[in-house]
Structure 1
């Protein structure tokens, strides 16, 4: 009975007409809505591209800047940008490998967070407990020992470098020294060095990060390459980040230049875990995504503020800014003999930026800092 009532010819025609009109209306509205959404997305992408192109154009007009690469991650979406030409005449791309300089230190910071999480060490342990021999010089002015917290936040007072830094040494001579540097050379110098500033205040130190590296290798009984693979790359999925690489080993490697436009050697050897990593924008995208999207407790721990004020602080090698604010930032710059780089993370907005160029000038670090701030401020304010 009910089926007959449903399919009587008159009602069928009326229902069909009604449904046809309804579907046409729905498809018109939602089709238009879909078009508007797609149009808005396209405009947003164009807007980001315009913002980046405008800001990068200012940089590329300056002397010495001939190539630039960058990647921006915004809430699950990534945009890469490549401008100019490399020293070989080719345009850079997502596979171009650049030196990332002291951004390397943030990788070491993540490994230290892993060691703390694994109870291999304690953050406030006396580092001398992990060293062979006696180091009475590794103390602060109040007699308290230098700890891992001091080393990773640059408050140990140890110098920027203490090896391969002879007065009058050329870049080429320094690079050769790096290549022939041995671990024994480091600890021989460490026994005689005195903290430059033993007050416990901030004093940027590559030596402190190198010391963390040697201790981590010892407590895990693994090389740093093995530690990177096991505890960093397994999380980030990076495939184009290298601790040591020489020209000729990779066709994608960028040739860096100094401020005079003269090609310079890559940094390898002793400094490679404090400032010698090489990476591409493809890999750095994965590195940023790990920090911004991962719920891994070690990754989150690596972003914890360990020292300094809420406005200007330090995490596990990361610098922090406005840590207690909605737009808090973690950042680090990088410089080698011939490359300048910058990375910044905005965890609350799930936004990250990495930018790099194949030249080092007196103010290239500051220029990349300003460029990053201008781009992110425009993007975040435009999306809010």
Structure 2
């Protein structure tokens, strides 16, 4: 009799446990979308005119959400064009990887080998020359920007300065620049260095950088919306953003180059993520660690790198313009990528996007575990 009671109690407990487990699995699966949207809603905090778009790629599956309304009342969608700022650098890095794969450039060769008609004796310090490795990891010793100074930004002259800055101006400044540190020693985030990588690619391929990005990347990935927009008609397609105080900001991407000039939309960046998760040889090369610290953080081809909770490599980059902020993270082994963009560029906007990305990643992992258990 006691044995029968014991078996009955065990069965009841087992059924109860399975019921609770099924409930948890269902909860995780159902709430992935709502949890993600809740994070975005909390981030926007009811700010009028602010929008946010997100794309989550998980192997062959994609999840894309758009929240908020623009000043004209329109809700963003997969075709809404945004400036993506320094996410452009990852395209430049991928193009450099392709050039290495093609045998056009070498990672550790003196970059002056690729610069014609000038010796640029100033591009070395204590007999140490700059290499593409240094450009790709922001350790070249070159300054952050040429076109405008911090004083220009503080006094409101930044847009006027960059709108008049030309390629000739860049190379004139390059002949005069003094390196801040010995190449390879110190980190300094440098759009000057990234633009130089773009000019080197133009030199070795004898093609405009914009055409190279199209041929090497966007035509392969199918990114019809990712492009440099220079004409007034093209610029008018781009979403206008604001600073953290609600002031409308001008669009700067038309005057930026390899360090930040691209614009795109959710549909195209989704395709870019899928391309970054592909088996293309230049993609694998571009994920190669070029520099790593004792903390586990490192740098690849214009990617920052770290390890996730499972000790797997993750690559990330933030993108900021004068009125737009974006975040892109790739988990190559897991075949996961997350892109978030908003039309606000406040002081803490990008760190907030990073935090949202981490939570969305956790929601996705929980969701996948739930689906696996249900299966």
Range into which the TM-score falls when normalised by the shorter chain: 0.7 to 0.9
How high is the TM-score relative to the length of structure 2?
0.85
Aligned 1:269-284 pairs, distance under 5 A: 269-284=254-269
- 2:71 equivalent in structure 1: 87
Aligned 1:30-69 pairs, distance under 5 A: 46-61=30-45, 66-69=50-53
SS of equivalent residue, structure 1 residue 209? helix
**Partners of 2:333 and 2:347 in 1: CA distance:** 33
- 1:347 equivalent in structure 2: 332
**Partners of 2:129 and 2:111 in 1: CA distance:** 8
**Partners of 1:370 and 1:344 in 2: CA distance:** 12
Of 58, 64, 77, which residue of structure 2 is paired with 1:74? Answer: 58
* 1:376 to 2:361 alignment: yes
Aligned 1:59-208 pairs, distance under 5 A: 59-61=43-45, 66-131=50-115, 132-140=117-125, 142-165=126-149, 167-169=151-153, 173-198=157-182, 200-208=185-193
**Partners of 2:100 and 2:209 in 1: CA distance:** 16
CA displacement 1:134-177 (0-9 Å, x = unmatched): 2222224x521110000011111211101233724579743343
SS of equivalent residue, structure 1 residue 164? coil
**Partners of 2:362 and 2:298 in 1: CA distance:** 21
* 1:253 to 2:238 alignment: yes
SS of equivalent residue, structure 2 residue 227? coil
Of 217, 225, 233, which residue of structure 1 is paired with 2:218? Answer: 233
Q: Decide whether the 8 Å contact of 1:178 with 1:268 is kept in 2.
A: no
Q: Decide whether the 8 Å contact of 2:49 with 2:71 is kept in 1.
A: no
* 1:307 to 2:291 alignment: yes
**Partners of 1:383 and 1:169 in 2: CA distance:** 46
**Partners of 1:125 and 1:269 in 2: CA distance:** 31
**Bigger mean CA offset, 40-49 vs 102-111:** 40-49
Structure 2 gap segments, 5+ residues each: 1-22, 370-375
- 2:4 equivalent in structure 1: none
Superposed displacement of residue 42, structure 1:
8.8
Structure 1 residues 40 and 245, CA gap change in structure 2 (3 angstroms): farther
Aligned 1:316-331 pairs, distance under 5 A: 316-322=301-307, 326-331=311-316
**Partners of 2:230 and 2:32 in 1: CA distance:** 33
Structure 1 gap segments, 5+ residues each: 1-38
Superposed displacement of residue 245, structure 1:
4.4
Structural RMSD (CA): 2.5
**Partners of 1:42 and 1:171 in 2: CA distance:** 55
**Partners of 1:46 and 1:309 in 2: CA distance:** 40
Aligned residues: 344
Structure 1 residues 207 and 64, CA gap change in structure 2 (3 angstroms): farther
How high is the TM-score relative to the length of structure 1?
0.83
**Partners of 1:324 and 1:47 in 2: CA distance:** 22
**Partners of 2:352 and 2:322 in 1: CA distance:** 17
CA displacement 1:161-198 (0-9 Å, x = unmatched): 01233724579743343333221100111122122233
**Partners of 2:303 and 2:136 in 1: CA distance:** 9
- 2:279 equivalent in structure 1: 295
- 2:5 equivalent in structure 1: none
**Partners of 1:165 and 1:87 in 2: CA distance:** 32
**Partners of 2:232 and 2:291 in 1: CA distance:** 39
From the CA coordinates, give the structure whose radius of gyration is larger. 1
